[in-house]
Amino acid sequence: MMLEYSAYIILLIQIVLIHESTASLFSDECLRHGLKSYYDPTTDSCWIVETTPFTYDQAKSHCNHMPGYDGHLAFPKTLNHSWILYTKLGAPDSWIGLQHFGSSTTVSNKSEWYWTYPDGRKEIAADALWKGSYPTTGECAMSSGNNVNSLYSTACTAIPAKFICQYDSSTAHHETTLEHKCKQQNQWFWWNDDKSCLLLDTLMRYPLYAQLMCTHIPGYRGHLVFIKTIEKMNALNAFRNAAVSPYYFWTGLNRDKNMTSGKAGLFWRRFDGYKEGFNLNAFLPGQTSHLDTPGADNMFSWTDYFEDWYDAGWAWTLCEYEETLRYAPTLLDIQCASLSLPHLYYQGSCYVRQESSVTYDVAKKFCTHIDGFNGRLAVLHNSELVRLMYFTLTLPTGGADSTHVGLERLNTTGAADTGYYWILGNGQTLPVTDFTPFYPGHPNGKICTILSNYYLTTYECTYQRPFICEYVEPTKGTHFRINANTANMKAIPQFILKVYDDLTLQESCGYQCTKEPDCRSIVYNEKTRNCLLQSVDSNMLYVKSANIVSAPGYTWYDRY
């Protein structure tokens, strides 16, 4: 009996020590956030003050300070809690997690005010917490503006204010790599329902080019945001409204071509080109306008509705990254994403725009943005790349609309439009064979070349211009990478270069692609051993949805 009692005591001590150790770790993590944080041992909660002023709806979406914990606006449920907010945190007149859930005419009814938990649970606030005659106006609550130990109500759309976030040790969960990355950045937004991270790019771009900018997080394939619930739409618009001069942002919602109704043919376009149908009437049954222009097949979000626009429309870019869409990033991919200058990682190259105006010879020496890679002035040997550099790195930045690129006239003995070569670096050159990217009348015998608008023009090398550098994967064009989380990929008949039957391995199919200058990807069927060489990759830059057909059993590999 004595042995059993001793074992019980030892077990009890171990449980206590484990609890205290866990609480200690949580409290240490809480206090690590600085003077504006407080660990409450009575509730095992952490309070953190956010001094950036937001409206109430915006504040609700920004409690993401502690990775591994689900945050919400603070619940000061006792008078002592209110006193702590005022004295220890110095947070008077700050938003807290108390809201009215009745009609606008019954705000004074204290039984309709609730603390709302992240999982949807609600709890009525105690009457004693209210200051004086409150609640009287508005449907959101704030901490006391003086040391009175009570709360008051105001309009949710009142002037932006500080807010207090609360993190409970009981909400601790396994933190994914993506969640950790996302919550470490102040301007990134974690949407817990979809386990996705969202980033807002406030440069104005056309939709076809906006989707190519979703490369902020190496190792995760990004896409324009999918908004499948009204709760997510409201949260993201609050996130958008926190930016300076809020504007529209593109979504991943598209419409099939040649629709007769604006609300027909809507779908979410995945990064690999597949389409996921969308029922607008089930999502926004009251939206009777804004999607009424067949032919304007790209959708942006503004406040609480979708609106359609044409390919040439301008908007911000809201990218979404999901844990399931992982891939193995290269070193160049990682280093490219870390640059603060305008940049784009595309098909195994990192393109970087340098705004400094210099001569051509100086520009050639200053492609040194990425350690370990020999940079060169950008090689833009077809119209697609020329347009890509203009619409992603030139036009949106608002800088000079002409930039140095890596094209020179090395042989001046022939006609004025001959002797031009792309400078690849390490003594290698590529002769110009495609003249479609040139402006009419060019090349005209001048030695150097600039990208002007979305054409190439030849000019004097002494002109001072910004420049675009290119850094290339050492294995670019010789390796193939399977698209993450995809199966039964699609084939695009009009973009198939060649078809091979009875190739026993995907590597054999890839080898055939390396011998074709225009081959950018392959689709391979292991069962039939059929190989298709294609001139497009999974970014689907210029491929319209109507061109896509299913290819069951095939897997898509991009060349890089």
Opening angle at CA 164, ends 162 and 165, nearest 5: 135
Contact 468, 377 (CB under 8 A): yes
| Two structure tokens written together for 52 | 């950036």
2-171 and 331-472, same CATH topology: yes
Query: Mind giving me the DSSP string for 487-507?
Result: -S-EE-GGGEEEEE----SHH
Tell me the sheet residues that pair with 197: 190, 321
Contact 129, 79 (CB under 8 A): yes
331-472 falls under which CATH superfamily? Mannose-Binding Protein A, subunit A (3.10.100.10)
Sign of the CA dihedral running 154, 159, 162, 167? positive
| Two structure tokens written together for 53 | 């002023």
Contact 61, 231 (CB under 8 A): no
What is the reported pLDDT for 272? Answer: 61
Distance of alpha carbon 251 from alpha carbon 317, whole angstroms: 8
Contact 227, 301 (CB under 8 A): yes
Residues 6+ apart with CB under 8 A from 150: 79, 82, 129, 130, 131, 132, 134, 144
Residue type, 10: I
Q: Which residues of the chain have pLDDT under 70?
A: 1-25, 33-35, 146-149, 271-274, 482-494, 538-552
What is the reported pLDDT for 2? Answer: 46
What is the reported pLDDT for 27? Answer: 81
CATH code for the structural domain at 177-326: 3.10.100.10
Alpha helix ranges (H) inside 276-382: 280-283, 331-337, 360-365
> What is the CATH architecture assignment of 2-171?
Roll (3.10)
Contact 99, 151 (CB under 8 A): no
Tell me the sheet residues that pair with 45: 40, 168
Residues 6+ apart with CB under 8 A from 51: 36, 162
The count of other CB atoms within 10 Å of the CB of residue 318 is 26
The ranges assigned to domains in the chain are 2-171, 177-326, 331-472, 480-559
The pair phi, psi for residue 296, each rounded to 5°, is: -95, 90
Closest C-alpha to 216, from 321, 351, 326: 321
**Neighbour-count burial of 160, counting CB atoms closer than 10 A to its CB (0-12 exposed, 13-18 middle, 19+ buried):** middle
What is the DSSP code (8-state) at residue 331? H
Read off the pTM.
0.72
Query: Mind giving me the DSSP string for 385-407?
Result: HHHHHIIIIITTTTS-SEEEEEE
Residues 6+ apart with CB under 8 A from 420: 407, 408, 409, 410, 431, 432, 443, 449, 458
Tell me the sheet residues that pair with 357: none
Query: Between β-strands 249-255 and 266-269, what pairing exists: parallel, antiparallel or unpaired?
Result: antiparallel
Distance of alpha carbon 513 from alpha carbon 481, whole angstroms: 13
**CA of 123: how far to CAs of 35, 38, 98, 99, 138, in Å?**
30, 23, 9, 11, 19
Distance of alpha carbon 492 from alpha carbon 269, whole angstroms: 16
Contact 221, 343 (CB under 8 A): no
Residues 6+ apart with CB under 8 A from 450: 402, 403, 404, 405, 456, 457, 459, 463, 465
Q: CATH: 3.30.56.10, 3.40.50.12170, 3.30.1330.10, 3.50.4.10. Which one for 480-559?
A: 3.50.4.10
Tell me the sheet residues that pair with 146: none
Closest C-alpha to 38, from 29, 28, 48: 48
What is the DSSP code (8-state) at residue 525? E
Distance of alpha carbon 29 from alpha carbon 88, whole angstroms: 18
Contact 216, 259 (CB under 8 A): no
| Two structure tokens written together for 283 | 């999502």
What is the reported pLDDT for 261? Answer: 79
Distance of alpha carbon 360 from alpha carbon 406, whole angstroms: 9
